[in-house]
Structure 1
Amino acid sequence: MTSKAVENQIKDVINKYLKSIDEAENIYLAEEIWSDSNEVSFIHPRGHERGWKEVKQNFYFGTMRDLLSKRKLELVNDISIQAYGDVAIAEFYWEFNATFKTDGEPLTTKGRETQVLHKTEDRGWVIVHVHYSNMPVTGEREGF
């Protein structure tokens, strides 16, 4: 059972995460909530980053900042949180709206995400792993 205080702390981290995507140019937002460890990882449809340096360079800069001029990541449901001591797992669904820098074309995607967080003594809860994917496909011969 997750205490309300822990749940609120983790929700605060996730809200900062959403803002860090929206404002990818300001990497300091992301640095507040991510572990700076070489062991962090981020699995997403465009790649698999290992270590904070790769997450920063390849996802925040290479994808979010450099390819998109506007970004808005929003939750579409409540966050599910399970905490186990100094480790927590959060799950949620999202909608992402953005604009491509090259031609101004809009982009809308929907997906789901799992985050693993670790509570540190000096920084509180930080993200150590993210895995996100598009919404499930359930048509015949899809999703294999």
Structure 2
Amino acid sequence: MASRILLAGIVWLMPAFAAGQTDTGRRKDVASIHELIAQYVKAVDTVDLNLLSQIWSHSPEVSFVYPLGEEHGLDAIEQQIFQKIMGGMFSTRNLEPRAVEVHVNGNAGWSEFHWTFHATMRKDGSAVTTRGVETQVYLKESGRWRLVHVHYSEDHQPIPQ
């Protein structure tokens, strides 16, 4: 519920924020979010909880929605998504985003992208490849972009050749 209220607030405030944003500022913000996505990919690949802590907002309202459920709060995201699933299930991970689109409107931003995830199962060493589509929502906190919400699902689109 809190994440829905947060998203509704972001959408409601976007026109007011956009009025004062320059093209140069918007390009800088878009570049910053692209860098945040690169750090996110690195955090997934390495299960680096310190990096994860730098990427995500520490607000109790952060959330992560995925095919196995949903997590609320950074502690739950770290424990369930990164330690239990990424670190616990897989001995190696390689997240490859593609077709990344970033949008910024004032102090709110979002990205959408497709990804391929290659991994090795810890239990038996078998290779796994999955594909997904992901949306991420960001807020600018104290002048720095922070991730506040991730939602991903299975990708049914063919991979472009």
TM over 0.5: yes
Q: Please tell me the residue identity of whatever aligns with 1:52.
A: L
When the two chains are superposed, the root-mean-square deviation of aligned CA atoms in Å is 1.4
| Count of residue pairs the alignment pairs up | 134
Q: Structure 2 CA distance, aligned partners of 1:9 and 1:109? A: 27
Unaligned runs of 5+ residues in structure 2 are: 1-17
Identify the range of structure 1 (1-10 vs 37-46) with the bigger mean alpha-carbon deviation.
1-10
Structure 1 residues 1-144: aligned runs within 5 Å: 3-24=26-47, 26-77=48-99, 79-121=100-142, 124-136=144-156
Unaligned runs of 5+ residues in structure 1 are: 138-144
Q: Structure 2 CA distance, aligned partners of 1:89 and 1:39? A: 16
Q: Please tell me the residue identity of whatever aligns with 2:110.
A: I
Greater fraction helix: 2
Q: Structure 1 CA distance, aligned partners of 2:112 and 2:136? A: 6
With normalisation by structure 1, the TM-score equals: 0.88
Q: Please tell me the residue identity of whatever aligns with 2:49.
A: I
Runs of 4+ in structure 1 deviating by more than 4 angstroms, as ranges, are none
Give how far 1:136 is off: 2.8
Q: Please tell me the residue identity of whatever aligns with 2:87.
A: R
